[in-house]
Chain A
Amino acid sequence: MNAENARTITGTVFDIQRYSIHDGPGIRTIVFLKGCPLSCKWCSNPESQAYEPQVFYVKSKCIGCGLCERSCPNNEVKLTEDGLLIDWKAINASKDLSWVNVCPTGALGVKGEKMTAQEVFDIVMRDKVFYDQSGGGLTLSGGEPLVQSEFALELLKMLHDAGVNTAIETTGAVDKKVLLDVLPYTDLFLYDFKHWDNEIHKKYIGASNSHIKENLKMLAEKKANILVRVPVIPGVNDTEKFVSKVISELKEYGIDKLALLPFHQYGSGKYVSCGMTYEMQDFKPPAEDKIEELRKIISDAGFSNK
């Protein structure tokens, strides 16, 4: 590894989560990188979408001390009886958010921190003993982690060289070259696939899927280890027909691993916390037996779910 690169290449990280057990083999640490080319309406990490660090407000932690109101340079926040009133437009346009740190409880905080590859590597390596025991390792997630391609590549290289299993959770909505660059250092691609129908894809995701399909095909041809993961959204793609379609397409690509991620509402509060609008409150998580049915179709088709 290049020590100079490790110290100079930085990424914008919004969370590092240890003992993650549902994103690749073994016990893993997920490093969440900021920025995403898509904007799926069901996204459970809305704070991942913007590329730059952003303010995040958790009302339940606010003690109403007013320190933030007194410290903000341009009246971006105002203390009311019902917590903070935040001028999101102004605050999101602000370059310097260091004043947010006055908040004593962390109710007002910043999501997204510039970190060097070395810093992140050091944190990930803290759980090496658990990876060695379980066959786990690093999962890069986001946002779309490959948007910060240089940083992602450096981190993957470093961990790969340190004998740690590596995985990327990707939307596939990136340049082909980026995928090719990381391929030698990536033990597993957790490849999100939302919809096969381009019109529906455009409607909910705000982008075409053709590029995503091509990249998937390309990775499969290069014999990458791929687990395709489909977020199951009621009324969008929760049908047997859809799942069967995915299966037949994947078979053509020579991919034999497919998992379902049922839609959930856990992210809804975070939309409020970063001043965004949540549009999915009326969508119910798919019923458990429905998911089981769909999973059965997948396993009957000879697909593995991990």
Chain B
Amino acid sequence: MLKKLLPEGIKREERTKKLNEAMRGVKPAICVERAKLLTESYKQTEGAPNILRRAYALTHVLKNMTIFIDEDELIVGNHASKPRSAPLFPEFGSFDKKELDLMPVRNVDTLQITEEDKKYLLEEIYPWWKNKNTGDMARYYIDDKIMEVLNSQYRVFDPISRTRSGYGHYIPNIETVLKKGFAGLEKEAKEHIENLDILDHDYTEKIHFYKSVLIIIEGVKCFSERYAALARKMAGETDDTRRKKELELIASVCDRVPYYPAESYYEALQSYWFTILIDYISQNGSAISAGRFDQYIAPYYDKDIADGVLVREEARELLEALWVKHSDVIKAGTFSSARNNGGFATTINVVLSGVGKDGNDATNDFSYLCLDAESSVFNSEPNVSIRVSKNTPDKFIERVLEILVEKEGGKLPLFNDDAIIDALVKDKASLEDARDYAIVGCVEPTPSGNTMGITNACYFNLAKCLELALNDGVCAFSGQQMGPKTGKAEDFTSFEHILKAYETQVRYFTDMMVSSLNSIEILHSKFGQHIFCSMLLDGCMENGRDCTEGGAKYNYIGVQGVGVQDVGDSLTAIKKAVFEDKLVTMQELLDALQSNFTNNEILKHRLINKIPKYGNDIDEVDDMVAWAAEQYCACFDDKYDFRGGKFRPGLFCLSSNTPLGRQVAALPSGRESGTPLADGGVSPKHGMDTNGPTAAAKSVAKLNHDRAVNGVNFNLKFIPTILKTEEDKHKLIDLIRAYFSLGGFHIQFNILTQEKLIDAQKHPEKHRSLVVRVAGYSAFFVELDRDIQNEIIARTVQQVS
């Protein structure tokens, strides 16, 4: 079919391939330009209220940063001065020389940096920000006693990266931008200013907020206009008639969006991209997510198709060009943070399908087109999530499975609409907002466009708490008193003593975590105002209050318990081996743990093989894991932050189970010291779920997912041969639907071969495109830490005959 919008001369597949190869071919690097521009602005605004300084700084960046339009691009807008480069955010924290030196040589999230840039940062930029960035200032906010605990090498939780990370993990209201444009928001801000009462005790703060909004909108308008001008200039300079026409189209689109409302499909896509991109340029956040992309873009797609000004194939061409763009956004983290999250996990989550606000299935033609684009591009970004309700067509899920088999790489997690909507309503969201939920980051469901999510504020090491409970609060590695004295385990006369000691340890540290995160949020609200995002979270504009200060309709802080499976398996082992079957005495068990089983190898094997393990649909142990999950979640029942937001517990870990495992000594489950904790938050421990996927799914569903409303992660790895036929696919869909009927929130399939992974580890150059999900998000496999690669390889392959 002939194109109606784009000029002829290149096929979709060809363009997508070129764009994708160019993006994948980039060696990620550090870009110092943002740091330079931001610092320039801050130097000029000393003395001004911080919120205005933030606004001026962003606008200064948007007006002056390098912009470019790459060959064959249709959707424009770059994150840094070069493709796939990480801008720096000195207002949130600096990197010392050691970290910078490590960046080009570290084995995860490797980033190139020139000696000149390094020198510039260390001599010009960071010295000015010393004690002015949130990372440095955190010590004045976090309680002294807690700070002392956090200064140790061994920790139960570590909120320090949150002090440096800025705001992320929320879903801006893109629909507002598409419908009103920033012009509409500008008008609203002016009206609010008109209507403010000078006697209002919040008058000064509100006027600062609205002024900041106006400053930023000026920057946003200028940003897109610069692209329009650049495209025109390039159109004038090229001899290629096709490219000339494309550049003229780009220019006319950038003339209008995102300032004016989108009037076409092309404008809607470009407006979306500028909005998401500017949010990422604003500050150091990750997982700023797209929300229900197929819902808010579909009307523009439908209209253009119906009007005969667009054909499906070119709609797909534009969509794929946009899809590739998502890989442009990467952030620079410390080595430790990169190891936790791994693989440049920006995690821009794009959600497809599910029910509409009216409760009916909302899967549409455009949802399928998004899957087509995903199958063509298939990078770690965007992180595409699928909402599945009882009424989601099988056909849609079949297409998802087809892509997974074809790509042999796990992406496209499935989320259970019916259970999640119920849980959100229980969590005090309105029914309409609950039905309109989307996924933030990896697995975190929140309402869309009205929620300050911060859904991944901190990980909490539950397995470490068990280690402490068995050692009277003493860290097995450092020998120091880390937690409260809960008694010597060898003196415990009943199993209940262990449970009690464990509960006390968990309570002690969750309270500390809540306190420290609250301190950090206060710090951020004073120095890290996020006005751009406030325009796009319902409630802030009406309230005249920044989202960091509680302006949004819903406010959360998400805290993840990690290792609930190791805890449940270990408690079961103690209960059976020590108290019931008297396989060993507590003293013998403790001695074995202390020696990391070197003094009793046989005991280790018995504990692994003869004691039931979570993931096999055995109530005794599954109930223990469920107990540990409930106990963790209950710690937050009455915990609120200073914004009035709820602390929301989750049970997922991305790849943090590996670094967190390094902090935990040997456990009664038979797990050796320093080895990874169970992956995926609620997935069975790798290799332990020997009763197959239905048993694993049932075990997982015994945990009350409602309580872990910030999200859970259940990974199931399949070898591709079990999905050979249509019938096989249907049976897997039945597995998913039955698991969902039991209340499971999430399921993620990794469909791949072990040989393939081992080969990828040996020959990364041959497998650059291999995308693997690590516990709930996706990443390029070859960019992952080797330990994490090994962990993925070791995960159970569900052999099905």
Q: Are B738 and A134 in contact (CB under 8 A)?
A: yes
Q: Are B692 and A19 in contact (CB under 8 A)?
A: yes
Q: Are A26 and B694 in contact (CB under 8 A)?
A: no
The answer, yes or no, to whether A106 is at the interface (CB within 8 Å) is yes
A211 vs B377: C-alpha distance when bound (angstroms): 59
A127 vs B693: C-alpha distance when bound (angstroms): 11
Please indicate the chain B residues that have their CB under 8 angstroms from the CB of A201 in the complex: none
The answer, yes or no, to whether A39 is at the interface (CB within 8 Å) is no
Q: Are A27 and B734 in contact (CB under 8 A)?
A: yes
Choose one: A26, A126, A132; the contact of B695 (CB below 8 Å): A126
Chain A residue nearest to B616 in the complex (CB): A18
The answer, yes or no, to whether A71 is at the interface (CB within 8 Å) is no
Q: Mark A1-43, 1 if CB is under 8 A from B, else 0.
A: 0000000000000000111111000110000000000000000
Give chain B nearest CB distance to A99 CB in angstroms.
Answer: 15
Please indicate the chain B residues that have their CB under 8 angstroms from the CB of A306 in the complex: 727
A255 vs B738: C-alpha distance when bound (angstroms): 33
Q: Mark A203-234, 1 if CB is under 8 A from B, else 0.
A: 00000000000000000000000000000000
A133 vs B737: C-alpha distance when bound (angstroms): 7
Knowing A104-B602, A126-B698, the reply to whether A17 touches B692 (Cβ < 8 A) is yes
Q: Are A104 and B609 in contact (CB under 8 A)?
A: yes
Q: Are B731 and A106 in contact (CB under 8 A)?
A: no
A132 vs B742: C-alpha distance when bound (angstroms): 13
The answer, yes or no, to whether B204 is at the interface (CB within 8 Å) is no
Choose one: B605, B730, B735, B738; the contact of A104 (CB below 8 Å): B605
A112 vs B464: C-alpha distance when bound (angstroms): 40
Knowing A18-B694, A21-B800, the reply to whether A134 touches B731 (Cβ < 8 A) is yes
> What secondary structure prevails in chain A residues at the interface with B?
loop
The answer, yes or no, to whether A75 is at the interface (CB within 8 Å) is no
Give chain A nearest CB distance to B78 CB in angstroms.
Answer: 47
Knowing A104-B605, A133-B737, A134-B738, the reply to whether A18 touches B695 (Cβ < 8 A) is yes
Please indicate the chain A residues that have their CB under 8 angstroms from the CB of B727 in the complex: 21, 306
Please indicate the chain A residues that have their CB under 8 angstroms from the CB of B695 in the complex: 18-19, 126-127
Q: Mark A88-114, 1 if CB is under 8 A from B, else 0.
A: 000000000000000011100000000
The answer, yes or no, to whether B741 is at the interface (CB within 8 Å) is yes
A127 vs B658: C-alpha distance when bound (angstroms): 32
Complex interface residues of chain B between 581 and 617 (CB less than 8 A to chain A): 601-603, 605-606, 608-610, 617
Knowing A105-B605, A129-B742, A133-B738, the reply to whether A19 touches B800 (Cβ < 8 A) is yes
A7 vs B450: C-alpha distance when bound (angstroms): 58
The answer, yes or no, to whether A65 is at the interface (CB within 8 Å) is yes
The answer, yes or no, to whether B70 is at the interface (CB within 8 Å) is no
Complex interface residues of chain B between 67 and 110 (CB less than 8 A to chain A): none
Choose one: A18, A21, A129; the contact of B738 (CB below 8 Å): A129
A21 vs B730: C-alpha distance when bound (angstroms): 10
Give chain B nearest CB distance to A91 CB in angstroms.
Answer: 21
The answer, yes or no, to whether A63 is at the interface (CB within 8 Å) is yes
Please indicate the chain A residues that have their CB under 8 angstroms from the CB of B801 in the complex: 17, 20, 22, 266
The answer, yes or no, to whether B728 is at the interface (CB within 8 Å) is yes
Interface size class of B (residues with CB under 8 A): 20 to 34
Chain A residue nearest to B619 in the complex (CB): A126
The answer, yes or no, to whether B722 is at the interface (CB within 8 Å) is yes
The answer, yes or no, to whether A301 is at the interface (CB within 8 Å) is no
Q: How many A-B pairs fall under 8 Å by CB? A: 74
Give chain B nearest CB distance to A286 CB in angstroms.
Answer: 16
Q: Mark B769-801, 1 if CB is under 8 A from A, else 0.
A: 000000000000000000000000000001011
Q: Are A26 and B691 in contact (CB under 8 A)?
A: no
Q: Mark B706-740, 1 if CB is under 8 A from A, else 0.
A: 00000000000000001000011011001101100
Knowing A21-B731, A134-B738, the reply to whether A105 touches B609 (Cβ < 8 A) is yes
A63 vs B617: C-alpha distance when bound (angstroms): 28
Q: Are B731 and A27 in contact (CB under 8 A)?
A: yes
A20 vs B692: C-alpha distance when bound (angstroms): 9
Number of interface residues of A (CB under 8 A): 24
Q: Are A21 and B722 in contact (CB under 8 A)?
A: yes
Give chain B nearest CB distance to A70 CB in angstroms.
Answer: 12
Q: Are A129 and B602 in contact (CB under 8 A)?
A: no
Give chain B nearest CB distance to A227 CB in angstroms.
Answer: 14
Give chain A nearest CB distance to B268 CB in angstroms.
Answer: 38
A17 vs B734: C-alpha distance when bound (angstroms): 17
Knowing A21-B722, A21-B728, A105-B609, the reply to whether A63 touches B734 (Cβ < 8 A) is no
A22 vs B801: C-alpha distance when bound (angstroms): 7
Q: Are B694 and A127 in contact (CB under 8 A)?
A: yes
Please indicate the chain B residues that have their CB under 8 angstroms from the CB of A133 in the complex: 734-735, 737-738, 741
Q: Are B735 and A130 in contact (CB under 8 A)?
A: yes
Q: Are B605 and A63 in contact (CB under 8 A)?
A: yes
A251 vs B601: C-alpha distance when bound (angstroms): 62
Q: Are B735 and A27 in contact (CB under 8 A)?
A: yes
Please indicate the chain A residues that have their CB under 8 angstroms from the CB of B730 in the complex: 134
Chain A residue nearest to B736 in the complex (CB): A133
Q: Are B800 and A20 in contact (CB under 8 A)?
A: yes
Please indicate the chain A residues that have their CB under 8 angstroms from the CB of B737 in the complex: 133
Please indicate the chain B residues that have their CB under 8 angstroms from the CB of A27 in the complex: 694, 731, 734-735, 738
A40 vs B479: C-alpha distance when bound (angstroms): 62
Please indicate the chain B residues that have their CB under 8 angstroms from the CB of A136 in the complex: 731, 734
Complex interface residues of chain A between 268 and 298 (CB less than 8 A to chain B): none
Chain B residue nearest to A22 in the complex (CB): B801
Q: Are A130 and B738 in contact (CB under 8 A)?
A: yes
Give chain A nearest CB distance to B798 CB in angstroms.
Answer: 8
Greatest chain B CB density within 10 A among A126, A132, A266, A306 is at A126
Q: Are B617 and A67 in contact (CB under 8 A)?
A: no
Q: Are A18 and B731 in contact (CB under 8 A)?
A: no
Give chain B nearest CB distance to A42 CB in angstroms.
Answer: 15
Q: Are B738 and A126 in contact (CB under 8 A)?
A: no
Q: Are B602 and A67 in contact (CB under 8 A)?
A: yes
Q: Mark A170-200, 1 if CB is under 8 A from B, else 0.
A: 0000000000000000000000000000000
Choose one: A20, A106, A126, A132; the contact of B609 (CB below 8 Å): A106
Please indicate the chain B residues that have their CB under 8 angstroms from the CB of A129 in the complex: 698, 738, 741-742
Q: Are B602 and A65 in contact (CB under 8 A)?
A: yes
Greatest chain A CB density within 10 A among B606, B692, B727, B731 is at B731
Please indicate the chain B residues that have their CB under 8 angstroms from the CB of A63 in the complex: 601, 605
Please indicate the chain A residues that have their CB under 8 angstroms from the CB of B608 in the complex: 105
A130 vs B734: C-alpha distance when bound (angstroms): 7
A27 vs B734: C-alpha distance when bound (angstroms): 8
Choose one: B602, B603, B722, B734; the contact of A134 (CB below 8 Å): B734
Chain A residue nearest to B698 in the complex (CB): A126
A177 vs B727: C-alpha distance when bound (angstroms): 35
Complex interface residues of chain B between 23 and 39 (CB less than 8 A to chain A): none
Give chain A nearest CB distance to B313 CB in angstroms.
Answer: 34
Choose one: A22, A65, A130, A266; the contact of B694 (CB below 8 Å): A130
A129 vs B740: C-alpha distance when bound (angstroms): 10
Chain A residue nearest to B722 in the complex (CB): A21
Q: Are B605 and A26 in contact (CB under 8 A)?
A: no
Q: Are B605 and A18 in contact (CB under 8 A)?
A: no
A104 vs B722: C-alpha distance when bound (angstroms): 32
Choose one: B601, B606, B617, B741; the contact of A126 (CB below 8 Å): B617
Complex interface residues of chain A between 121 and 163 (CB less than 8 A to chain B): 126-127, 129-130, 132-134, 136
Q: Mark B686-703, 1 if CB is under 8 A from A, else 0.
A: 000001111100100000
Known: A21-B727, A129-B741. 17 other contacts (CB 8 A): A18-B691, A19-B692, A19-B693, A20-B801, A27-B735, A27-B738, A65-B601, A104-B609, A126-B617, A129-B698, A129-B742, A130-B738, A132-B738, A133-B734, A133-B735, A133-B737, A133-B741
Q: List 18 A-B contacts (CB under 8 A).
A: A17-B692, A18-B691, A18-B693, A18-B694, A19-B695, A21-B800, A26-B731, A104-B603, A104-B606, A104-B609, A105-B605, A105-B608, A130-B694, A130-B734, A130-B735, A133-B737, A134-B730, A134-B738
User: A residues touching B (Cβ–Cβ < 8 Å)?
Assistant: 17-22, 26-27, 63, 65, 67, 104-106, 126-127, 129-130, 132-134, 136, 266, 306
The 8 A-B residue pairs whose C-beta atoms are closest, nearest first, are A134-B734, A104-B605, A133-B738, A19-B692, A18-B692, A104-B606, A19-B694, A130-B738
